[in-house]
Structure 1
């Protein structure tokens, strides 16, 4: 007689090893407002939880720290009824840090030590920000592998972008001081990341498939989502390895490149998290058909 597995508790999800699609999501822009730096649209948490509870893999592939996910994203999922056992993960700092996500928060934090920048560089950048740029940007103390500074909430964005250029120009001298030749500077509209050259959204995609494989999950197709050209790297990586993928660009004003896979943009002209919310609601609605 073959024994049957015990049913999962009512508050625990059961996952489909072959879900119809998976979500690989940048956070700043598509999920969190770049203005408030919070999950400001209620439907985002609701739709993500709905899909995760139905066994759809939801992976945050972000330059943000694990602390940001725990403090800003997890509460929205918890409030929306995220269940235990769902295939939800954060791949933070562009692949250098990762953890599973549950209603209680994050599981064990994993760090790729080969991608960590030296503590001395952290100290020098922290000092640079404090001495010259404290009115417009702050040093992100939550990063574990990369060094990041971010525009202060409420700061004038034009003043920030002008100061950011001077800040970015000062970094190569610090990299030379520490003998770092395998590090790049990656500015965005609200931050600058100083990071190992091997991190990126493509590394985040690779980590994602490793995490899902460890749970025996293989999505039939993928939706990736981002607000910058660098976010296309996750769709590029998936497509190059034979996965069916469509990419959502929530800020297409930067220009939509030619790709061998579909690129989707808001039909209403919405951008950032408003665009992200539209797509998430549409995808969650598929589960009820």
Structure 2
């Protein structure tokens, strides 16, 4: 795709993209953009005026270190509509040819500092063999598998950490929810979610989620007078469907791309796309290339 300057993006671009990062964009093995075409296609789409919005549980520091540099190397035109919505909606920033811009944080959604400090100490004393405390998070508490640790070893140890996190929150008078199981506080309230993934556990406000990220994405676009004709949301977990759910309930034209459908595709009111036997970033790369071609010809096919 030949890139052109888009300092004034089209108000109704063909597509808007809401992209989970781990899995569809960054390899869950290397935790980086491992397929070169991904960064090239992301830049090409944004340069053509397609909003590219990362909607992730990752921190802004991760985006700045792992996602932004290859996109800058691919070339970002002035005014290309790119944002990072991090920590499931609590943190956000624009991305331009100078990198990640000013970072905004909704402090009302942040974990208590005392709890964060206690979890840091616990990981250092009891869980360091398997994972590390993510110091880059501004609102969430996250513990992530060491790259050198085997997945089965980490997943076997993970429930013990999750149990401790619940007990620590309960001891402080908070209610929690974990994989759909609620344990309310004395007043019947649930304030925090314990959310395990295949490489990490996030501890976060129950108000956070990919749906909040989608809401922030639409608000950011509205500030610039942009409303895509169609949306594509992309993820590798059931929680990522919340992006498409929110957009669909709002009346938007949306399809969701599931790059790890082996977990089971839920019933939805919108189409769900997959890449056959390809998963994770290999599947993400296929769809990005398809969308580059679709934007070039100005129309979307049923499998795009």
- Range of TM-score over shorter length: over 0.9
Cα deviations by residue, 1:231-288 (Å, 9 ceiling, x for unpaired): 0000000000100000000000100011110000003x11000000000000011122
- Distance in 2, matches of 1:105 and 1:46, equals 16
Partner-residue secondary structure (3-state), 1:287: helix
Work out which of the residue numbers 12, 23, 33 in structure 1 matches 2:17.
23
- Distance in 2, matches of 1:88 and 1:219, equals 14
- Distance in 2, matches of 1:270 and 1:257, equals 19
Q: CA deviation at 1:11?
A: 6.1
Q: CA deviation at 1:88?
A: 0.4
Q: CA deviation at 1:51?
A: 0.5
Q: CA deviation at 1:220?
A: 0.8
- Distance in 2, matches of 1:246 and 1:24, equals 11
- Distance in 2, matches of 1:68 and 1:12, equals 26
- Distance in 1, matches of 2:148 and 2:40, equals 27
Q: CA deviation at 1:21?
A: 1.0
State the partner residue of 1:121. Answer: 115
Work out which of the residue numbers 33, 49, 55 in structure 2 matches 1:55.
49
State the partner residue of 1:281. Answer: 289
State the partner residue of 1:240. Answer: 249
State the partner residue of 2:167. Answer: 173
Work out which of the residue numbers 241, 250, 265 in structure 2 matches 1:256.
265
Q: Paired residues, what number? A: 279
Pairs within 5 Å for 1:104-143: 104-143=98-137
- Distance in 1, matches of 2:172 and 2:9, equals 47
Runs of at least 5 residues in structure 1 that lack an aligned partner in the other structure = 1-9
State the partner residue of 1:152. Answer: 146
CA contact (8 A) 1:13 1:54 kept: no
Cα deviations by residue, 1:91-142 (Å, 9 ceiling, x for unpaired): 1000000010112111111111110111111111111111111121000000
- Distance in 1, matches of 2:136 and 2:17, equals 25
Q: CA deviation at 1:176?
A: 2.1
TM-score norm. by structure 1 comes to 0.94
Work out which of the residue numbers 6, 28, 35 in structure 1 matches 2:29.
35
Deviates more, 1:81-90 or 1:272-281: 81-90
- Distance in 1, matches of 2:122 and 2:260, equals 31
- Distance 1:231-1:211 versus aligned 2 partners, 3 A rule: same
Kindly report the root-mean-square deviation, in angstroms, between the aligned alpha carbons of the 2 structures: 1.1
- Distance in 2, matches of 1:105 and 1:224, equals 23
- Distance in 2, matches of 1:40 and 1:75, equals 13
State the partner residue of 1:3. Answer: none
CA contact (8 A) 1:225 1:248 kept: yes
State the partner residue of 2:94. Answer: 100
Runs of at least 5 residues in structure 2 that lack an aligned partner in the other structure = 176-190, 298-304
Partner-residue secondary structure (3-state), 2:257: strand
- Distance in 2, matches of 1:30 and 1:192, equals 19
State the partner residue of 1:207. Answer: 216
TM-score norm. by structure 2 comes to 0.90
Work out which of the residue numbers 79, 83, 92 in structure 2 matches 1:89.
83
- Distance in 2, matches of 1:145 and 1:178, equals 18
